[in-house]
């Protein structure tokens, strides 16, 4: 889904990666690449232009955050602009979920409209199934497409499949079917009716007349336009045409699973002012999802759940621990025990591979090297060392190495690799901390004075033998964008569930 767009954005960020600052020049290059990416995605010119102008202004006006590198800061700006492009707060409830305008005075009416083959009939059934689950409603599907001979039968089959009643009439007209369906729904105790209407190859007068007549007659609470994402700008154009004739309340974008470019997803809201409410991501009944602009932006940028990762990291590492570690490293007191602590803390955050996936660009990493078994082996080796050996791993004799390897069920080669890796890591982290980067890596904007105070406190703590739970253990995982909102309790719960914490 949206692979091409993701790839183009990745390329656009290249000109900023590794730069020390966002400057007029490097921002210009990145912005030009983003514009190209959007145009290739079939985003219309006006929308693309406005988008990159906004990104440029924000990037150049952004204050330098010491907790974030320029590429991350830039990605965050693009992410937020993408979200803004696709969002419509008025179509969301208090929890940020898609709002359906249910009424209590009569069965709620949802009218589905759209071009031929866009996925109306399938989506009627998908939506009914989704709302049964989400809102505990009792829907009725209405066969108001009398254009195509097999349409009624298709809806009946789908209704049967999901256990939802279907209302159909023989030798009738669509407006009559819909009006009678309302009466039937009242008697049948249905609190929701979904009208499946006919489609045409192109927007034409006969089609528009028929659906607007149905809309006038049934006064639907929701008029949803079903659009095929794969048709890009044509989908957007048809949305505009329908919007002029029907009181649209939202769009359902189907076949996003087959859409590599993403132009319709990006521009429907900007061009028509109507929000995407649901997306179709496959042919199966359950493959209809509520649309969340922030998740979509994350998908498009290929940054997975980096925002969640950063929030999670912030909740695990506190500022004080980061500074304590910096002190320990500078004083050469970083031991294998601290290393073990780090490994354990990272493990607590969830399966390593899942965590890796949340890191931008992680798709390019050799995932196999981050498996759980490897970590278990490392732990076994460290655990079979004595406390002294853990503190002074560089002083291990050969016979001690053999003993440690045996005790852990591993071999000396593996132990040597661990020792070498540990030594390299210590050197690398020490070099970083001497440049004062460590605090930044952990994602904190630690003010100089504060560092001094914390450092003094840390000195006392490490003398007393206190050990930090976790080094800015995510060093190299990237820092937290500044000003990141704190996760809500519900988000934390969802995250815990996802990573089985
Ligand atoms: N891959 C994929 N296929 C979909 C999706 N939604 C619908 N389809 C397929 O698109 C085709 C057309 O779907 P229909 O529901 O019959 O479309 P329609 O708009 O009712 O068509 P008409 O009634 O002829 O106007 C079917 O083969 C569906 O399975 C989706 O989200 N992903
Ligand atoms: Mg149909």
In this structure, what CATH number is given to the domain that contains residue 61? 1.20.120.140
Query: How far does residue 99's CA lie from ligand 2's centre (Å)?
Result: 25
Domain hosting residue 85, numbered range: 3-90
Distance CA 139, CA 144 (A): 15
* Judgement on whether residues 348 and 488 belong to the same structural domain of the protein: yes
In this structure, what CATH number is given to the domain that contains residue 352? 1.10.260.30
pLDDT of residue 417: 83
Query: How far does residue 267's CA lie from ligand 1's centre (Å)?
Result: 21
Beta strands in 98-209 (DSSP E): 108-113, 139-144, 165-167, 192-197
Residue 98: which of 124, 130, 136, 141 has the closest Cα? Answer: 130
Residue 370 CA, chain-centre distance (Å), reads 22
Q: Is residue 299 part of a domain?
A: no
- Divide the 501 residues of the chain into consecutive groups of 10 and give the mean pLDDT of each group: 86 84 89 93 91 93 64 85 93 88 94 95 96 94 90 95 95 93 95 93 84 94 95 89 93 92 90 94 92 87 55 48 60 69 64 54 46 75 88 88 92 86 66 44 41 55 34 31 42 50 43
* Judgement on whether residues 282 and 344 belong to the same structural domain of the protein: no
**Residue from 117, 202, 264 whose mutation best tests the ligand 1 pocket (most atoms within 8 A of CB):** 117
Distance CA 501, CA 497 (A): 7
> Of 257, 291, 325, which one is at a domain's C-terminal end?
291
* Judgement on whether residues 17 and 150 belong to the same structural domain of the protein: no
Q: Give 46-50 contacts, CB < 8 A, sequence gap 24+.
A: 47/85, 47/266, 47/267, 47/270, 47/271, 50/270
What is each CA distance from 495 to 100, 348, 349, 473, in whole angstroms? Answer: 26, 12, 10, 19
Q: Is residue 445 part of a domain?
A: yes
Query: How far does residue 293's CA lie from ligand 2's centre (Å)?
Result: 27
Q: Is the dihedral of CA 330, 333, 339, 344 positive or negative?
A: negative
Query: How far does residue 117's CA lie from ligand 2's centre (Å)?
Result: 7
* Judgement on whether residues 72 and 110 belong to the same structural domain of the protein: no
pLDDT of residue 111: 97
* Judgement on whether residues 63 and 119 belong to the same structural domain of the protein: no
Query: How far does residue 304's CA lie from ligand 1's centre (Å)?
Result: 28
* Judgement on whether residues 83 and 169 belong to the same structural domain of the protein: no
Locate the ligand 1 atom nearest the alpha carbon of residue 118 and give its number.
19
Q: Is residue 301 part of a domain?
A: no
* Judgement on whether residues 152 and 174 belong to the same structural domain of the protein: yes
What residue's CA is closest to ligand 1, atom 17? Answer: 119
Which ligand neighbours the alpha carbon of 289 most closely?
A: 1
DSSP string, 425-475: HHHHHHHHHHTT-HHHHTT----HHHHHHHHHHHHHHHHTT---S--STTT
Q: Is residue 108 part of a domain?
A: yes
Distance CA 399, CA 260 (A): 58
DSSP code of 98? B
In this structure, what CATH number is given to the domain that contains residue 209? 3.40.50.300
* Judgement on whether residues 378 and 478 belong to the same structural domain of the protein: yes
Burial 16-31 (b: 16+ CB within 10 A, else e): bbebeebeeebbeebb
| DSSP 3-state of 113 | strand
> Of 291, 321, 354, which one is at a domain's C-terminal end?
291
Distance CA 20, CA 41 (A): 30
pLDDT of residue 77: 87
Encoded tokens for 351:
């399966």
Binding pocket residue ranges, ligand 1, CB within 6 Å: 114, 116-122, 145, 148, 151, 199, 254-255, 257-258, 280-283, 287
Q: Report CA dihedral (310, 315, 321, 326) to the nearest 10 degrees.
A: 0
Q: Is residue 300 part of a domain?
A: no
* Judgement on whether residues 110 and 253 belong to the same structural domain of the protein: yes
Q: Are 266 and 38 in contact (CB under 8 A)?
A: yes
What is each CA distance from 282 to 256, 266, 432, 465, in whole angstroms? Answer: 8, 19, 47, 57
Q: Is residue 296 part of a domain?
A: no
Distance CA 178, CA 84 (A): 37
* Judgement on whether residues 139 and 273 belong to the same structural domain of the protein: yes
* Judgement on whether residues 237 and 341 belong to the same structural domain of the protein: no
The sheet that has 250-254: what strands, in order across it?
Answer: 165-167, 139-144, 192-197, 108-113, 222-228, 250-254, 276-280, 288-290
Count of the separate structural domains present in the chain: 3
> Of 55, 90, 125, which one is at a domain's C-terminal end?
90
Q: Is residue 297 part of a domain?
A: no
Q: Are 433 and 326 in contact (CB under 8 A)?
A: yes
What residue's CA is closest to ligand 1, atom 29? Answer: 283
Q: Is residue 204 part of a domain?
A: yes
Residue 219: which of 135, 120, 105 has the closest Cα? Answer: 105
pLDDT of residue 201: 78
* Judgement on whether residues 75 and 105 belong to the same structural domain of the protein: no
pLDDT of residue 4: 87
What is each CA distance from 317 to 72, 124, 243, 412, 442, in whole angstroms? Answer: 19, 47, 50, 33, 8
């Amino acid at each position: 889904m949206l692979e091409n767009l993701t790839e183009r954005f990745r390329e656009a960020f290249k000109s900023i990666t590794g730069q020390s600052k966002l400057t007029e020049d490097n921002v210009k290059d990145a912005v030009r690449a983003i514009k190209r990416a959007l145009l290739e995605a079939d985003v219309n010119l006006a929308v693309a232009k406005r988008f990159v102008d906004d990104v440029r202004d924000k990037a150049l006006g952004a204050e330098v955050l010491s907790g974030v590198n320029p590429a991350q800061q830039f990605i965050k700006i693009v992410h937020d602009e993408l979200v803004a492009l696709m969002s419509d707060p008025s179509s969301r409830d208090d929890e940020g979920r898609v709002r359906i305008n249910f009424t209590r005075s009569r069965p709620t009416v949802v009218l589905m409209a759209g071009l031929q083959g866009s996925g109306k009939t399938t989506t009627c059934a998908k939506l009914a199934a989704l709302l049964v689950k989400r809102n505990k409603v009792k829907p009725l599907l209405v066969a108001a497409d009398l254009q195509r001979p097999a349409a009624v039968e298709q809806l009946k089959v789908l209704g049967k499949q999901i256990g939802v009643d279907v209302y159909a009439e023989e030798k009738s007209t669509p407006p009559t079917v819909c009006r009678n369906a309302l009466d039937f729904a009242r008697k049948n105790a249905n609190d929701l009716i979904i009208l499946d209407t006919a489609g045409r190859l192109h927007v034409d007068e006969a089609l528009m007349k028929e659906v607007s007549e149905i809309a006038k007659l049934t006064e639907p609470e929701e008029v949803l336009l079903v659009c095929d994402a794969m048709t890009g700008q044509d989908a957007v154009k048809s949305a505009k045409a329908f919007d002029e004739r029907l009181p649209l309340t939202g769009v359902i974008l189907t076949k996003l699973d087959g859409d590599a470019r993403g132009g319709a997803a990006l521009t429907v809201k900007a061009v028509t002012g109507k929000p995407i409410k649901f997306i179709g991501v496959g042919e199966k009944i359950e493959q209809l999802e509520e649309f969340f602009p922030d998740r979509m932006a994350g998908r498009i940028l290929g940054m997975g759940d980096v925002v969640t990762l950063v929030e999670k990291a912030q909740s695990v590492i506190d500022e004080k621990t980061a500074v304590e570690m910096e002190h320990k490293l500078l004083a050469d007191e970083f031991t294998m025990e601290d290393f073990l602590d780090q490994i354990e803390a990272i493990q607590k955050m969830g399966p390593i591979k899942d965590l890796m996936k949340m890191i931008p660009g992680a798709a390019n990493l050799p995932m196999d090297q981050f498996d759980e078994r490897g970590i278990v082996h490392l732990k076994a080796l460290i655990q079979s060392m004595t406390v002294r050996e853990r503190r002074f791993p560089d002083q291990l004799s050969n016979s001690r190495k053999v003993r440690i390897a045996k005790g852990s069920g591993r071999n000396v080669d593996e132990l040597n690799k661990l020792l070498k890796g540990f030594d390299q890591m210590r050197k690398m982290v020490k070099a970083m901390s001497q440049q004062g980067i460590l605090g930044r890596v952990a994602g904190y904007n630690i003010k100089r004075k504060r560092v001094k105070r914390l450092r003094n406190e840390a000195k006392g703590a490490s003398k007393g033998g206190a050990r930090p739970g976790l080094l800015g253990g995510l060093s190299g995982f990237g820092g937290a964008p500044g000003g990141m909102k704190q996760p809500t309790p519900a988000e934390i719960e969802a995250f815990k569930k996802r990573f089985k914490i």
